[in-house]
Each structure stands twice: as structure tokens, then as C-alpha cells.
Structure 1
């Protein structure tokens, strides 16, 4: 599975062009054709950050909010669910390690 395929798992149902998805991946330090490494905290974090950026873009586009209708879900319910998912991803990204070190510590030096 490459980075593009892994990202598409996170953003299922969101229609973007291939070029737009490549841009989001590039902005977060990923190449779409490279193999996704599920054991790498850095790769996971970058995928989640990319998905977060895409969801924030969707939330900032009022025309998508107007045109979005699915079954019996209203636009306000879509917005609430979208914001809930954005909050979940932000929390997940903040809690993830930004390196691939095998240390379990989240300690950092505040003063040097």
C-alpha cells in the first residue's frame, strides 16, 4: 500500500482530484507513490496531518456544505460530524510521537 492509498482510507467519501491529493501529501512531507510504513510513527503522523488538512479545507468551503446531502443527514449534522472528526484527528496527532525512536517517553526539555 502506498501513501496515496493509505490517505484515501482516511478520507473516504471526499472527492478530490489526484493533483489536489498529491499537493496535500507533498505539503506534509510525503510522496504519493512511496510505500506506506505502518510501523513508522512519522508516516502515521504525516498521514493523519494530511487528512486533517483536507478535512479543514472541506470545513472552510461553504459551497460544499450547501450541496452536501446524503440520505437523511442535514447540513448541520454533517458539519457537527466533520468538526468532531477534526477534533479527533487533532487530538490523535498531538498525542503521537513525532519521531521513530523506540523510547516510550513523552518527556522533553523545556529549559536548556
Structure 2
């Protein structure tokens, strides 16, 4: 099942280290099947607030996402971003093909 790495970057920077990070990140993702879904595009805030930027990366599964994040290649470049950009990063499994939110609601009602 596809898994996603989602970053809400509260601050952004065009510091040389960050640009170096951006230039190098794709090579760290390729061995794990990672691909950008959202990267550097403006978000349209419909509800609430969203200061900063959104990044979404798809991986074949959660194991691949963790393997990428823990890989020596990514760990080597990670400080280039974290030293200059603050944010929150989460991993999440996607839903299976044919997912129906009504079934989730029914399960939630049954559990309460």
C-alpha cells in the first residue's frame, strides 16, 4: 500500500545548504521508489491557517519510507535542511483501493 511522507515546513530558506539539500534529495529517494507529489508549490488555505510550505512524497510502502529516511545517504544531507528550516514530518499509510469512508464511520459507531 502506498505510504506518504508529509512535511509541513514552518519556515523556508534559500540558504546554500538548503539548495544543496534540494539538489541532492532525489538521488536519496530513487533507491526506495520515492517520488514527489507536492514540492514547492503554493498551498490554498481553505480552513484554518497554514504558515509555510507543504511537501508530500509517495513511497511504495511504509517500510520503504522508513528505509529512505534512515538511509546513510539521506542522513548525510538531512542537516542541510534541519539546520535552516523548521517543520513537522509525518509518515502515513494510504488507504487501499476501494476504500469507503462510510465503513470507517460504521466501525467507529460500533466501537463507541
TM-score norm. by structure 2 comes to 0.30
Greater RCO, 1 or 2 (C-alpha within 8 Å, sep 6+) = 2
Which structure dedicates a bigger proportion of its chain to strand? 2
Which structure dedicates a bigger proportion of its chain to helix? 1
